[in-house]
C-alpha cells in the first residue's frame, strides 16, 4: 500500500541521520503535533520560521542513508509537490483529490499553501516525471514550487482535518523528454583569413560527424574563449561546436560568447585546434602551403 512505503523521517531540519518510517507514520506525526502547528499558524516572520525548523520532517521520495541525492537508498515511488500562497486552499485540495494519481492533498504547515503526494510509475526517472507533472499542473493554472524537483527535498510535517486521501492512487506515467536540439550546420568560409578558413574546415567535420568537443562546462568555456579570438566571426563557429551537445541552448550560447568577447583570456585559438586534434579532426595544411 502507498501509505506503508518506507521513507526517512527526521526529528527536525538539523537532523541529518533520520530513521526509517512510512508515509503513514509521517502523516500521523503531523496529527501528533497539531497544537504546536496551530500556534505556528498564528505567528509570522522570524518566529514562524524558527517554529518550523523545530518540527519533524521527512524525505517523501525515498529512504536515505544520508541527506542528499547521493544518499538515496531506495525511492518510494512518491513525489511531494508544493503549491504556495494559495487563494483558496479548500478549492485546490478538492481539485487535486479528483486526480487519480494524488494519494494525499492537504494544507502545508503554514496553512496558506497546499501539498500533494503523487504516486509515480518510474522512480528512476524522478526529474522527468516531476517535470511532466509540473507542466500538467501548469496547464491547469496550478503553480508548483520548483524546489520540489529535488529527490531529497525535506517535507515538514503538517496536519489538515479536511485533507483528502486516496488509497488506490494510480501511478502517474507521464515522462517529460526535452526536445533534442538540432545541431547547427557549419557555414563554409571562402574568405582570405587563413585561421578562420582552418576553423571553418574543422567545424565542417564537427557538424558532419556530430562530434561533441565539450566534455564539461570548463571545456565549453575555453572553446568559447578560443573562438572569440576570431572576434564576432567566431560566434557562428561557437554555435556549431556547442550544438553538438544535447544541452545546447541557442540563447545561452549567444550570451556566453558575448561574455567571452568582453573578457580577456589566455586561451587562444590554438586550444580549439588542439581539442579538434584530440578527436581526430584536422584541417588540410597543404591547402595553404601553395599560397
Domain-terminating residue out of 122, 148, 165: 165
The answer to the question of residue 56 being in a domain is: yes
The answer to the question of residue 172 being in a domain is: no
Per-position pLDDT tens, the chain of length 291: 899 999 999 999 999 889 999 999 999 999 999 999 999 999 999 999 999 999 999 999 999 998 888 899 999 999 999 999 899 999 999 999 999 999 999 999 999 999 999 999 999 999 999 999 999 999 999 999 999 999 999 999 999 999 999 999 999 999 998 777 677 777 777 778 899 999 999 999 999 888 999 888 999 999 999 999 999 999 999 999 999 988 899 999 999 999 999 987 778 999 999 999 999 898 875 444 333
pLDDT at 283: 84
- Is there a single domain that holds both residue 149 and residue 20? yes
The answer to the question of residue 126 being in a domain is: yes
The answer to the question of residue 189 being in a domain is: no
- Is there a single domain that holds both residue 20 and residue 74? yes
Rounded Cα–Cα distance for residues 275 and 69 (Å):
33
Domain-terminating residue out of 118, 147, 165: 165
Domain that holds residue 156: 2-165
- Is there a single domain that holds both residue 161 and residue 203? no
Burial 128-156 (b: 16+ CB within 10 A, else e): bbbbbbbebbeeeebebbeebbebbbbbb
- Is there a single domain that holds both residue 112 and residue 204? no
- Give the neighbor-by-neighbor strand order of the sheet with 19-22: 19-22, 6-10, 57-59, 154-156
- Is there a single domain that holds both residue 136 and residue 248? no
pLDDT at 289: 39
Burial (CB count <10 Å: 0-12, 13-18, 19+), residue 163:
middle
The answer to the question of residue 178 being in a domain is: no
Burial 246-273 (b: 16+ CB within 10 A, else e): eebeeeebeebbeebbeeeeebebebbb
The answer to the question of residue 187 being in a domain is: no
- Is there a single domain that holds both residue 152 and residue 24? yes
pLDDT at 290: 37
The answer to the question of residue 184 being in a domain is: no
- Is there a single domain that holds both residue 75 and residue 145? yes
pLDDT tens-digit profile of 12-29?
999 988 999 999 999 999
Q: What is the DSSP letter of 124?
A: G
Please answer whether residues 281 and 206 qualify as being in contact, where contact means their C-beta atoms are separated by less than 8 angstroms. Answer: yes
Long-range contacts of 134-143 (CB under 8 A, 24+ apart): 134/81, 135/176, 136/174, 137/81, 140/95, 142/83, 142/92, 142/95, 143/83, 143/84
pLDDT at 288: 42
pLDDT at 34: 96
Helices 217-228/269-278 angle, 10° precision: 130
Q: What is the DSSP letter of 71?
A: G
- Is there a single domain that holds both residue 14 and residue 121? yes
- Is there a single domain that holds both residue 144 and residue 246? no
- Is there a single domain that holds both residue 161 and residue 18? yes
Domain-terminating residue out of 123, 145, 165: 165
Burial (CB count <10 Å: 0-12, 13-18, 19+), residue 51:
middle
- Is there a single domain that holds both residue 101 and residue 224? no
The answer to the question of residue 180 being in a domain is: no
pLDDT at 291: 38
Task: Give the residue among 28, 3, 286 at the shortest CA–CA distance from 157.
Answer: 28
- Is there a single domain that holds both residue 261 and residue 148? no
Note the pTM of the prediction, 2 decimals.
0.66
pLDDT tens-digit profile of 192-205?
889 999 999 999 99
Total of domains in the chain? 2
Rounded Cα–Cα distance for residues 227 and 110 (Å):
52
Amino acid at each position: 500500500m502507498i501509505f506503508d512505503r518506507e521513507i526517512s523521517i527526521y526529528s527536525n531540519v538539523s537532523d541529518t541521520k533520520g530513521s526509517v518510517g512510512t508515509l503513514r507514520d509521517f502523516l500521523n506525526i503531523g496529527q501528533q503535533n497539531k497544537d504546536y502547528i496551530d500556534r505556528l499558524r498564528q505567528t509570522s516572520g522570524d518566529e514562524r520560521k524558527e517554529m518550523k525548523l523545530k518540527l519533524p520532517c521527512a524525505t517523501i521520495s525515498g529512504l536515505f542513508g544520508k541527506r542528499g541525492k547521493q544518499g538515496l537508498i531506495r525511492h518510494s515511488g512518491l513525489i511531494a509537490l508544493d503549491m504556495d500562497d494559495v487563494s483558496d486552499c479548500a478549492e485546490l485540495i478538492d481539485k487535486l483529490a479528483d486526480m487519480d494519481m494524488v494519494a494525499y492533498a492537504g494544507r502545508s504547515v503554514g496553512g496558506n499553501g497546499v501539498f500533494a503526494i503523487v504516486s509515480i510509475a518510474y522512480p528512476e526517472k524522478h526529474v522527468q516525471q516531476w517535470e511532466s507533472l509540473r507542466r500538467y499542473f501548469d496547464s491547469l493554472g496550478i503553480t508548483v514550487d520548483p524546489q520540489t524537483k529535488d529527490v531529497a527535498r525535506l517535507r515538514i510535517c503538517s496536519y489538515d482535518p479536511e485533507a483528502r486521501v486516496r488509497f488506490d492512487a494510480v501511478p502517474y506515467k507521464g515522462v517529460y523528454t526535452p526536445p533534442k536540439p538540432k545541431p547547427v550546420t557549419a557555414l563554409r568560409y571562402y574568405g582570405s583569413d587563413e585561421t578562420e578558413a582552418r576553423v571553418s574546415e574543422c567545424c565542417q567535420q564537427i557538424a558532419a560527424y556530430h562530434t561533441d568537443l565539450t566534455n564539461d562546462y570548463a571545456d565549453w568555456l575555453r572553446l568559447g574563449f578560443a573562438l572569440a579570438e576570431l572576434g564576432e566571426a567566431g560566434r557562428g563557429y561557437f554555435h556549431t561546436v556547442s550544438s553538438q551537445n544535447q544541452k545546447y541552448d541557442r540563447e545561452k550560447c549567444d550570451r556566453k560568447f558575448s561574455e567571452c568577447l568582453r573578457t580577456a583570456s589566455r586561451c587562444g585559438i590554438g586550444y580549439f585546434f588542439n581539442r579538434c586534434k584530440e578527436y581526430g579532426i584536422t584541417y588540410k595544411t597543404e591547402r595553404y602551403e601553395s599560397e
